[in-house]
Structure 1
Amino acid sequence: MRAIGIDIGGTKIAGAVVDEFGEILRSERRPSPAGDPVLMEQTIVEMINSLAEGEEIAAAGVAAAGFIDAAQSSVYYAPNINWRNEPLREKLEKRVSVPVIIENDANAAGWAEFRFGAGRLVSDMVMLTIGTGVGGAIVADDRLLRGGFGAGAELGHLRIVPGGLACGCGQHGCIEQYGSGRALLRLANEIADAGGIGQALASAREAAGALDGGIVGSLIAQRDPGAVAALRQLGHWIGQAAASLSAVLDPQLFVIGGGVAASGDLLIEPIRASYLDHLPARGYHPEPDFVIAELVNDAGVVGAADLARIYVGDHR
């Protein structure tokens, strides 16, 4: 049972034919027309039809950032595409030859890690994706948790600082403002401004005109004290959020993905330390493991394809 996974990103759309073991058999990449919803729909249709050519395909899953309804059919709201209450599955199924489901991109990536990656040996898992923002996925008792309306597991908007920094969601103090790639750049700039261990960050900023993720990531890899200090502050906030999530969900495993996760143990160590510092009733129940995601850039397409395959199997 082969399925197609489509992962819509801000700059590119990735698509692949995926088998039942999570292996990618064929793949495509196209530029993402994020500002044009009509062209976006056309591009998705073309990719599905192209990937399906000559294949026996059970279904196609389309993963996008935003709120998706519980029926995996409509997009309530997509922040980077002008989709508002968009009946996307219905529109796509009129133009392709296979059943289609729609899924949140973080859910798709988390499901891929659960099925085929770092979480494949557990039944209860939380994934936190640390990229430009903070995404998340929850698997509880071997099932992806979507919530009653389909828009659950928006973990980046867990509020950890009352009256804290303003967030794009309209609230203040969300973990996305303290534990994301954007937050890492803010912390790095603050350390650069302070001098001392921020000297290399300040020099790099002056040479380049501004710090970006590549510069800070390179300095982290070189174990620059200022860059590592910024990463440790980031890990502190993520660990605090994880402790709150653990009190509700009691996962066996936290999987950390996204671009910032390339720092590996340098990120995991402060997350784990902060988690233990903030864990309710520490020492009186088992503690979860913290690991880096394994599937990296392929997680979205693999998860979307697998969820589509499961949906079709359940609804035959």
Structure 2
Amino acid sequence: MTDDHAPSDAEAPDPASHLALAADLAIGIDIGGTKIAGGVVNRRGEVLALVRAETPHRSTAPSVVENTIVTVIDGLCEQVGTDRVAAVGVGAAGFVAADRATVVFAPHLSWRHEPLREALHARTGLPVVIDNDANAAAWAEARFGAALGRSDVVMVNLGTGIGGAILIDGRIYRGRHGMAGEFGHMQIAPDGLRCECGNRGCWEQYASGRALVREACALIVAASPVAADLASRVNGDPAAITGPMITQAAMDGDALSRDLLAEIGRWLGVGLANLAAAFDPQLFVIGGGVSAAGELLLEPAREAFRRRLPGRGYRPEPEIVHAALGNHAGFIGAADLARDAVAEQWQGRQA
């Protein structure tokens, strides 16, 4: 399995000195809507060190987010030694340019054409590769997790929003401009709810963590008796509701929380049926924080998927499975992709 889109080395630092010392270690950074997670990862996908930080609010300047990323990188280097780190891979929630150097648009951050690779290299001195966070997570699952041994895979990450990634013949498919896989912004409800991207009816307005919390909050605000359990968990303050809290309530048996997750699951299944029609994968891998609900989410998704799958009964049905690597998938994949990209550049220069 190979990555078919190594970054241009026009502005990339010479990696030779790093590779000579640290062929086995790389740092991966996963930038989400609410948290930034980083880890030191070896070639077996094992996490040797871990640092987390809160993602700065979207209203802050890009430099503030960069400061947080650099703090995470510095913390990881302190644990293992900078001279043992071959490269840094960053998985960002947004549109990443094909050269894997620039975040073109990140709806949940303040980044617009942000030259992130250049900025981070200037501050760390390390080779840096930028990728979409879902691409990174899918790569990790294909190399070390739920999609190991599968060549045609679609991954869907359910977090604050929805991210996605496509593997075709074992390679990440990024599209002509590097922006394939933004499934969260495909429209599944014309003239539906307004999305942060500016459109209406986007999938992530119905099947994401934000959608889950929004529906729970609305019922608490309305003082609905069906929301009594959730309301009691936050002393009646709807602003305190979180996705993990709803998932835990569902696992504890709260009927409303189970219904909310089932509704999210049904919308998930609708979107997956559309993706099956487009890509015909062997496997769907469902990751992200919302996927922690497990079968409370996935079984309703499978049922809705089967009802809407084009050609159902006359075609192989792809599996829908839970991601194996959990919250670590993003930075594990980012680290592995960066290490491979830097190694390819170095080998090319030696040829």
Distance in 2 (alpha carbons) for counterparts of 1:224 and 1:39: 40
Gaps of 5+ in 2: 1-22, 347-351
SS in 2 for 1:247: helix
Partners of 1:36 and 1:81 within 8 A in 2: no
Partners of 1:161 and 1:173 within 8 A in 2: yes
CA deviation profile, 1:289-312 (whole Å, cap 9, x unmatched): 111112112112101101101212
CA deviation profile, 1:130-170 (whole Å, cap 9, x unmatched): 22221212111111121111111011111111221111111
Partners of 2:230 and 2:249 within 8 A in 1: no
Amino acid at match of 1:44: I
SS in 2 for 1:208: coil
Match of 2:327 in 1: 297
| Larger displacement relative to structure 2 (11-20 or 25-34) | 25-34
1:23 pairs with 2:49: no
SS in 2 for 1:95: helix
Equivalent positions of 1:77-88 (< 5 A) are 77-88=105-116
Gap change, CA 1:49 and 1:189, over 3 Å in 2: closer
Amino acid at match of 2:173: L
Match of 1:36 in 2: 61
Match of 2:11 in 1: none
Match of 2:231 in 1: 205
Match of 1:313 in 2: 343
SS in 1 for 2:266: helix
1:281 to 306, 311, 326: 311
CA deviation profile, 1:35-61 (whole Å, cap 9, x unmatched): 232243344345435534254332211
Distance in 1 (alpha carbons) for counterparts of 2:84 and 2:222: 60
Gap change, CA 1:182 and 1:40, over 3 Å in 2: closer
Equivalent positions of 1:215-254 (< 5 A) are 215-254=245-284
Equivalent positions of 1:141-156 (< 5 A) are 141-156=169-184
1:51 pairs with 2:76: yes
Gap change, CA 1:282 and 1:177, over 3 Å in 2: same
Distance in 1 (alpha carbons) for counterparts of 2:221 and 2:309: 33
| Larger displacement relative to structure 2 (13-22 or 31-40) | 31-40
Partners of 1:192 and 1:226 within 8 A in 2: no
Distance in 2 (alpha carbons) for counterparts of 1:46 and 1:231: 36
Gap change, CA 1:204 and 1:29, over 3 Å in 2: closer
Residue 9 of structure 1 deviates from its aligned partner by 3.4
| Larger displacement relative to structure 2 (50-59 or 20-29) | 50-59
**RMSD, aligned α-carbons:** 2.4
Partners of 2:33 and 2:160 within 8 A in 1: no
Gap change, CA 1:194 and 1:146, over 3 Å in 2: same
Residue 74 of structure 1 deviates from its aligned partner by 1.0
2:194 to 159, 166, 190: 166
SS in 1 for 2:123: coil
Distance in 2 (alpha carbons) for counterparts of 1:313 and 1:227: 47
| Larger displacement relative to structure 2 (238-247 or 11-20) | 11-20
CA deviation profile, 1:77-118 (whole Å, cap 9, x unmatched): 223433221222123223333321111122212221221111
Distance in 2 (alpha carbons) for counterparts of 1:131 and 1:168: 15
Distance in 2 (alpha carbons) for counterparts of 1:33 and 1:190: 26
Gaps of 5+ in 1: none
With normalisation by structure 2, the TM-score equals: 0.82
Residue 199 of structure 1 deviates from its aligned partner by 3.7
Residue 122 of structure 1 deviates from its aligned partner by 0.8
Gap change, CA 1:54 and 1:215, over 3 Å in 2: closer
Identity %: 49
Gap change, CA 1:285 and 1:302, over 3 Å in 2: same
1:123 to 151, 174, 181: 151
Distance in 1 (alpha carbons) for counterparts of 2:285 and 2:226: 31
Residue 31 of structure 1 deviates from its aligned partner by 4.3
Match of 1:107 in 2: 135
Residue 29 of structure 1 deviates from its aligned partner by 2.8
Equivalent positions of 1:58-97 (< 5 A) are 58-97=86-125
Partners of 1:191 and 1:226 within 8 A in 2: no
1:132 to 160, 169, 183: 160
Partners of 2:51 and 2:75 within 8 A in 1: no
Distance in 2 (alpha carbons) for counterparts of 1:157 and 1:44: 26
Partners of 1:119 and 1:253 within 8 A in 2: yes
Distance in 2 (alpha carbons) for counterparts of 1:31 and 1:181: 17
With normalisation by structure 1, the TM-score equals: 0.90
